Chains A and B, each alone.
Chain A
């Protein structure tokens, strides 16, 4: 039982490049979330999903896209990376919206 895993752990991109971050959970959770964490800014919700095939915008969705084709996976895409997207990205999942969220270990992304 791995919980929530994230791939990759680290990545360096040049401005304008694209990439996809993968989140996987093995707890059969309906809800999945992508957050970014920046110094002094805490945790900000980018996008979330309330079930397979659904996605919704969070607080800071601009510049990101997501997909939830399978219940266990939630993908976060950056089509054209910008230095402002340098951050640590966390994926989380939960049984319901008010239930405990289980977090992955994070992906540290640097855009130069």
Chain B
């Protein structure tokens, strides 16, 4: 199976909160990342969390990590049309530490 799994699509109304979920299989994952890809562009790091943290907040973004269930989520408060993009979860673990990316979740924000 896949190392990092995400649902492919999420649709929300402008002003609502969006929650994008990710599960991973490697229990030794040390770093977990969220990248954003806008149409026609490369990926950009949004935020990351170390495995010894449960939560990280950065303005409208909240990352929650449940290490027991190997579940990572990204919450975007007050979602705007400019947040429409593909969001990639990635995990990095001992050994090479090179991140493994999920398939990406397309977030569609309706006015």
Contacts and interface: CB of A to CB of B under 8 A. Distances in A.
Q: Do A and B bind each other?
A: yes
A34 interface: no
A99 to B, nearest CB: 9
8 contacts: A41-B103, A45-B98, A90-B42, A97-B97, A98-B31, A101-B43, A103-B44, A105-B42
A106 B44 CA distance: 13
Nearest to B93: A98
B52 interface: no
A92 B42 contact: yes
Interface in B22-74: 30-31, 35, 40-45, 48
Identify the interface centre among A40, A43, A45, A104: most chain B CB within 10 Å of its CB.
A43
Q: Is chain A's interface secondary structure helix, strand, loop, or mixed overall?
A: strand
Interface of A: 4, 31, 33, 35, 40-45, 48, 90, 92, 96-98, 100-101, 103-106
Contacts of A48: 98
A44 B3 CA distance: 12
Contacts of B41: 105-106
Given A42-B102, A97-B96, A4 B43 contact: no
B38 to A, nearest CB: 11
Nearest to A42: B103
Instruction: Sort A-B residue pairs by CB-CB distance and give the 3 closest, nearest first.
Output: A103-B42, A42-B103, A97-B97
Nearest to B8: A40
Contacts of B104: 42-43
Contacts of A44: 101
A42 B42 contact: no
B99 interface: yes
